[in-house]
A and B are shown apart, each in its own frame.
Chain A
Amino acid sequence: MQSLVIVAHGSHLNPESSAPTYDHADTIRATGAFDEVTTGFWKEEPHFREVLRTVEGDEIYVVPLFVSEGYFTEQVIPRELRLDGWDVSEWDSDGLSADQATLVAEDIGREVHYCGPVGTHRAMTDVIVRRAESVTGDPDVGDDFGLAVVGHGTERNENSAKAIEYHADRIAERDRFDEVRALYMDEDPEVDDLPEFFESDDVVLVPLFIADGYHTQEDIPEDVGLCEDHTEGYDVPETVDGTRIWYAGAVGTEPLMADVILERAADAGADLGTALDDVRETTRVATGD
């Protein structure tokens, strides 16, 4: 019996935090690829500490819905899941290449496949592009458009910037958008000065965050100048210093994220049948309105 456990941060304050986790779990559940799909949280319930004891299967894949390798994926989650013998060297990662480690979870005395975070998977690049398609309503968006991929800088987590650069570089190599830039919230090049970094009149701004919350709904819109105060709201697109900015909100809310979760589990050995194709098909952007 094959089980998928999606682990995410969640929130004590914001009910929207867990919404993408539930949505992607539902998408994957509908494919039938797993006998059970369950969710666990740091700030909600079931907690990381107790999620595994609710799981029935004997082939268990744990996929962290986090954007980068770091404190949560390397320390908090393995500790709280009680992965026996975990050491970050199990992943043998350069900060981007964590794939999976198979360890016994002491809580249940069974092996689990502990996967790398969704945010550093190569398939995440497609989700960022898909997000740009969603927010512009144009499945072919690219010509005459710039794309800004935005995240925290290294101040909080060195690997956060690595993930942003990795995806920005991969998208740039595709020659689809006129310009692609990696921008940061707390270091240069800063997202506050977005129009200075682009020549294009239209720029899609995709924040590499899992859920909409303080950073994506208050911080970034105000820093970029989409609004004076987030409570006023803003239009999409909104013109700032002559640049039309198409603000996408958290990339993690894009339905195609379910595909990255599946890819992580597949890389760890899960048998998915046609689920990957099914998810790519069901989450496609409709042409036109």
Chain B
Amino acid sequence: MSDVTPAATDEPAVPDIDLPSDAFDAVLDALADREAGDPLRFEGFSVVRSGEDDEKDSASAEDTAGGYVLVDGDRRTGLSERELHEALAEHAPAVTDWYVFERVVGEFGPRRAFLRWLEDADGATVAARYAALAEGIERAWGELTITATVTDRGERRYDVRHADDDGVPIDELDAYDDPLDARDLVTLDEKGRYRPLKTAPSLAGGWAFPDLGPRDAYEAVETIYPATVANWHREREGELDVNHWRETMARQSGIYGVVKTWDRGEGHEHVDWVAEACCDDSQCLKRREWQYDDETDLDVDGGDGVFPCREPCSVVVSAARKWTRLESEQPRTYEFELTPSEKEQVEDIIDAVADGRIDEIREADTKEGANRYRTRFLRAKLFDDEGNLGGVPAEPEGDGEE
């Protein structure tokens, strides 16, 4: 039954689909749960249990003979269960599509919306989707590529992997089937460093979940990027509860209570710097929707991520605590000399650290200001025995201020 019908046009062919018994049984159950005459609707047709069936004892298949009506272009009445099966088999794509979303995926809002979005189920027809699923529908989610396909029984299967591994044969990747295994895949980056922020663009590749069902595909994505689907779903429903900087910091207590003192009613430049430091797309794949407050947007871009960021995260709050203390210091004037190239080199070093480039700078590439030999030379020349740049202490002697 899996023979591919030659396509008469350039349109992708709708695959042949068998109607599996679990999908058919679910249709019978759904009809039994409905009042006679209340139609069960599929794309392009409906099925109804006719009224006279209620008069009978419908305990066995024989008793339901003649009890179903199928309405598509025609109206087929008096169908027995077997005849209904034959009729539905002609509509197997629509019936299996109904079964997948109504019975397998279920009602839970974020899961349902995400899996429908993957194949544009609220936009494209069943025929168009099944044709596309037969080829594989790819979607990006953060650094993930999710590929949805359909089996010849109308079941959905999903391949979830790092986008860098697109097109890599599965036998060259570590294959997993339990979505909870993703917890181990997201813990460390490719250099073995702990990832405190799951939505940082530092997900390591080399693995795949090649053959997940719908629920497991959703679980895998929510394990790799926790709560991103839930927040994306709320945003689509127009219900995303954004908590801006001011209210989030006002809520903090304990060691983080100090952060609210950083807002002094003198503008939000400091929060612009925080967002530029932590929330840029180069640092986090969430699209920042929170601003300074309800009426005041920040001056930096929120990013282009698929899923939203609804409030400053714990990494931002922790860093802000540090900055609140550091920014309470008063600036001073230090006097020491740098050559123009040394000033540029200091800038190069700051750029290299801020952009995470230090590992890319080759050992002997002394053209790079942040090269290790160049930096060691600068330290040898400019630091005194106490490690003071330019021989000038950070705190001048006799100054008791911390």
Contact = CB atoms under 8 A, between A and B. Distances in A.
A38 to B, nearest CB: 9
A45 B311 CA distance: 13
Given A15-B194, A26-B180, A42 B226 contact: no
Contact of A44 (B110, B188, B196, B311): B196
Interface stretch (A46-54, A118-126, A278-286): A46-54
A45 B226 contact: yes
A12 B314 contact: yes
Interface in A1-43: 11-15, 22, 26, 42-43
Nearest to A82: B241
Given A15-B188, A54-B230, A43 B222 contact: no
Interface residues of B, number: 28
Contacts of A11: 196
Interface string B218-242: 0000100011001100100000010
Given A12-B196, A15-B187, A47 B314 contact: yes
Interface stretch (A71-79, A140-148, A187-195, A253-261): A71-79
B183 A45 contact: no
B194 A14 contact: yes
A6 to B, nearest CB: 14
Given A15-B194, A53-B234, A54-B226, A47 B251 contact: no
Contacts of A13: 194, 196
B6 to A, nearest CB: 44
Given A15-B188, A26-B180, A43 B196 contact: yes
B313 interface: yes
B313 A75 contact: no
Contacts of B318: 12, 43
B59 interface: no
Contacts of B180: 26
A228 interface: no
A56 B112 CA distance: 12
A56 B108 contact: yes
A75 B310 CA distance: 22
A193 B275 CA distance: 48
Contacts of A43: 196, 314, 318
Contact of A76 (B230, B241, B254): B254
B8 interface: no
Interface in B243-263: 251, 253-254
B153 interface: no
B253 A53 contact: no
Interface string B342-354: 0000000000000
Contact of B227 (A22, A50, A71): A50
B198 interface: yes
Interface core residue of B188, B222, B241 (most chain A CB under 10 Å) = B241
Nearest to B248: A49
A49 B315 contact: no
A13 B110 CA distance: 30
B226 A46 contact: yes
Given A15-B188, A44-B196, A45-B198, A71 B234 contact: no
A45 B234 CA distance: 18
B251 A54 contact: no
A51 B196 contact: no
Interface in B147-199: 180, 183, 187-188, 194, 196-199
Nearest to B243: A49
Interface of A: 11-15, 22, 26, 42-47, 49-51, 53-54, 56, 71, 75-76, 79, 107
29 contacts: A12-B196, A12-B315, A12-B318, A13-B194, A13-B196, A15-B194, A26-B180, A43-B314, A45-B198, A45-B226, A45-B227, A46-B226, A46-B227, A47-B227, A47-B314, A49-B311, A50-B226, A50-B230, A50-B231, A53-B230, A53-B231, A54-B226, A54-B230, A56-B108, A71-B254, A75-B254, A76-B253, A76-B254, A107-B241
